[in-house]
Structure 1
Amino acid sequence: MQRPLAASLLVILTVALSACSGAAEPPPKDTRAPTAPTGVTATAGSATTVHVMWSAATDDRAVTGYVVYREGRQVKELPATTLMTDIVGLAPAARHAFTVRAHDAAGNISPPSATVAATTLPADAEDRTPPTAPRALRVTADGSRAATLTWTPSRDDTRVTAYDVYQADTRVHTAPGAATTARVTGLRPGTAYAFTVRARDAAENSSPDSPRVELTTASAPGAPPNTAPENLTATATKGEITLNWTPPDTGGPVTHHELHLDGRFTTTIVWGTTPPPGRATYAFPVQDPPGTRYTVTLRARLPDGTWGDFSAPRVVVVR
């Protein structure tokens, strides 16, 4: 017996729709929480602040942020790229307990980290004298993604309570006041870095910067040689900033450099003729008020048309 045409079409349409619906099944729901952050530390930096740090958590997809708790109450929410924070506005000479939890994009939140405690320092409102700058700062590579800094202790009329490590003009680590060493992690292979250290006392007085030290981390296996401009200097006069540097040895003339201020592209420096031999110089006007700080980096365009590695950063203050 012959099947009616309408019935045959209905069967074909049903099969086709079933196949389409199978191909469009949504991905499985993310129900797995990240691991708990590890390596949590809490250090009192003053009478009213505690510095909390931790190591990154892991997730089957990606950690998207961290939440810091004090005595079980949420006090900070931070992006996944941030592994340290200052908890401020605390009572002097008081003990506080902290935990950290990680979360992912689906809202899954990790178990709490181990609890760490710190006691804020006694208040000393009359202390207005900053510590002396740390001296003899040195840096050594610890693989291609970490570095260890050491320094000679600062002096203070009361006592040093913390040392803050800066990469260019950004604080990346805080060590206790009794420490003379710090390990900085999260660096990138084959990258130039510049570090300084400042001492701090209980009244939040910060010392001048220590002498600057520089480090270029080891390149990743198989990576090409570092192509960063070297020996960059940045000086400010009224209304102008002048840069001097040595272009990288690329096997050919370097005709273009990119200038970045505070990590943002600003301009391309182009030599109209043959690039000058030896050190290069470039000056540009600034209209910002005196005291404005810039972090300056450069990178060169290589003969193959790609951009090379960034120079070590320099901090310059507008006059």
Structure 2
Amino acid sequence: MAQILSHPFRTLAGTSAALLIALFSTPSPAHGATDRTPPTVPQALRVIDATDSSVSVAWTASTDRSGAVTYRVYVNGVQVGSPASASYTISGLDSDTTFAVMVRAQDRYGNVSAPSAAVNGTTAPTVPPPSGGTGAPRNLRLTANGYDSLSLTWDPAAGSVMYYQIFRNGQWVDTSYGTAITLGHLAAGATYTIEVRARDSQNNLSAPASISASTRADDGAPSTPANLRVVTGGTGAPIGLAWDSSTDDRGVGVYWLFADGDTVFSGGPGVSFLALTDELCTVARGETYTFSVRAQDLTGTLSAPSTSITVTVR
């Protein structure tokens, strides 16, 4: 088997962020085939807390021989989160509703475990606060919208106001002691109805000021990595691969390198030195491989595969 080492290299002209992967034929009997064994199934999934708009769950951590495990959390069969630790709070839920939650584990090579046993979580009912005669906030307006956040401001309400309560799609989600708020953990490209009510010193709640606001939409997958090419050494033998960086409106989070369709490497953008001894362990001297690269953005969306190239390791 060939051992894969990495070396720093100078960025080539026209290359905004190249990655160099050096291939050397040093025997490495300890390395086997690409890891295709998934992590153990998450155990003892349980509800540890619930509010009128969220459910918190925890579970016994999975194990995997690669050592690096993340999780996928599902509500009613739809993935809603990917935490790195063995607990998660699912927010933005309807009140007084029961949801089925399950968890899968994923290792660094993309192998995914079978699902955990499902557990039901029930949100608490919303207790509407009493209405009163305090004046409603005025001129509620959007000041900024991100991919997962909305920032709003408003003019003060008349009367003895103690604070303002903010509602999202009818659910009380935050409190502000000023006249501005930023709501986070929202979905990209989604539209929300935001209401602001004033609470006075007599505990009365005003009529709402309301606005419909949308987060920015993800513009799609990253651009396809371009110019995948062989880098040769002084003898003309191939010593590595390089490619031009992709672009994305939210930013590229990782590149995936495939050899004959199998994932053999993942690494962040803009890196010019990578230690890949443990990652690229399936390349053998004298063997020929077809390589391709895909970019993944910060929302998990993958680009189309790059043009593939075939390389014989010498």
Q: Give me the TM-score of the superposition, normalised by structure 2.
A: 0.32
Looking at both structures, which has the greater relative contact order when contacts are Cα pairs under 8 Å and sequence separation is at least 6?
Answer: 2
- Going by fraction, where is helix more abundant, 1 or 2? 1
